[in-house]
Structure 1
Amino acid sequence: MLTYPDLDPVAIQLGPFAVRWYALAYISGLLAGWWLLVKMLQQKSLWARPPFSSTSPATADDIGDLFVWTTLGVVVGGRLGYDLFYGIFYCGFWPDGRDCHGLPWAYVTNPLNLIAHWTPGGLHLFGFQIPIYIPQLLGMSFHGGLAGVVAAIVWFCKKRGLNMFSVGDAIASVAPIGLFTGRLANFINGELWGKETDSPIGMVFCNDTIRATYGRCLAGMNPRYPSQLIEAATEGVLLFLLLQLAIRKFRLHERPGMICGLFFLGYGLARAFSEFFRDSESMIYGWFSMGMLLSLPMWAAAAFFIWVAYKQPAWAKKQRSTP
């Protein structure tokens, strides 16, 4: 059995405000993806052949501006996606779910729960204790964040006159970096743990920090799969390597939309696979979970993008000239 390390989910504590590793994971994933994508756009050999003909699908300045909007799409879409997919849809049909806690009715009694989960706290200032409520973005949906990113790409490309399928391919090729850092943050938080197992890779998701925070070990004292690390390996490392291989070895980005299709296909497969190890907080029936259900539209989107890539309509060859 492996040992779960005693990691504090809070990276920096500033009075009542805490900077969590989860937030830093989002930031580091976005910055690393931004850096790598700019490097890829500057690599002339990737864009030498048609339909690009030595013109990359976007400039470094375009990507810098786009990442501002994709960051907003991740945060807003991730939170609202959780509200819709889990808080309203899942908890509406299965209100006894492990993480429902009164949802979706809690949205009616306190609509601010749609924005964040609010926890009571206090601010000590000039000898006075000021009661405040601290927002925590607990409950983020990858599928909602993905929808937010897609909306941001479509809007931005239309505004700038960019080929949204080629730009989407470029974004998709680095997206697994954020998935990797996010799953590592889940591991640090001791959340989204796996099913109980007697496997040598099992671990007890409990340490002194968890006991001090919650007063008990939420996952119990039986060994469980480290499903967060399984997802980091499949959704993050493996998917990233496959997409980079598709671009650099097989040059599939020369069919705009193909990399997006492979990303949707690969993520759907990786998520469905990992759900067999994950002790899902949103089980629907037997082994079938909400995560598996949401993989179905991912595969439908994959089929659409791959169809677009192979169809190669006229717009696929129209590229904006780099200024």
Structure 2
Amino acid sequence: MPSPGCPPPHPDPRTPSLALPRDSCDAHCHILGPADVFPYAPERTFTPLDAPKEQLRALHHHLGLDRAVVVQSSCHGHDHAVLLDALRAGGGRLRGVALIDERTTRAEVEELHLAGVRALRLNFLPHLRTPPTRAEIDAVLERVDGLDWAVQLHVHGRGITALEHVVRALPGRTVVDHMGRIDPADRQALRSLRALLDTGRVWVKVSGVDRISRQGPPYRDAVALAASLVAHAPERVVWGTDYPHVNIAGDAPDDGLLVDLVDRIAPDPAQLRRLLVTNPAELFDFPAPA
């Protein structure tokens, strides 16, 4: 049985009215199972409903998305079989984000890189795992040395302020997932996030508006926060659906609505193309857009 907070996806997502540019990318989504083929990790902290690669591909076709970045879910742990399977079947339209630790070998990392992984994720949310120590972070960075992977941070609220010194010390590019999951009204957390963006090495995913909104659909407060970040650093923002929306309160959002909100997050056509096409191609090493 799925854990609380793991509802089924929206049963009938609307067809977006926003026509997306060619090579638009969902830069944050997950593939889960099927569990009878890709079992969930015994040490997982939640059990989701299956959301296999075929289901994700059908959704992207419905939404008009050509590319995607699949993030390894903690419910699969450090067994990347489900991610490798998706990347190898993706025909070049997918990239991946791995979950590795000090037990991961360099050979495993190189296999992931060859398949299309271009980033690793560090979870600082206690409901997913014990936050990594500095020694663990250094061990992970050593495993990927020379591969030019980005480091994705999964933090919550004031965590972005507490970890600001850690982020500044990381080499290369760092990506803050879901706008740091900050409260849209938290000015201190927003100042920390903007200060990190101003370093020129930090990117942010303006995803997860449904997670952080205090207002519910159409998430005006979180959309306004996302729009402010796009205006602040238009060259270092990407967007994603976060499908299939695990560990949430209430029902899963309408992914068609999430796509239509992108027009409010990046109202200028040049900003929108950067957000959906140019920036994810640069960050995740897709072929240059046409």
TM-score range, shorter chain: under 0.3
Structure with the greater alpha carbon radius of gyration: 1
TM (normalized to structure 1)?
A: 0.23
Relative to its length, the structure with more helix (as a share) is: 1
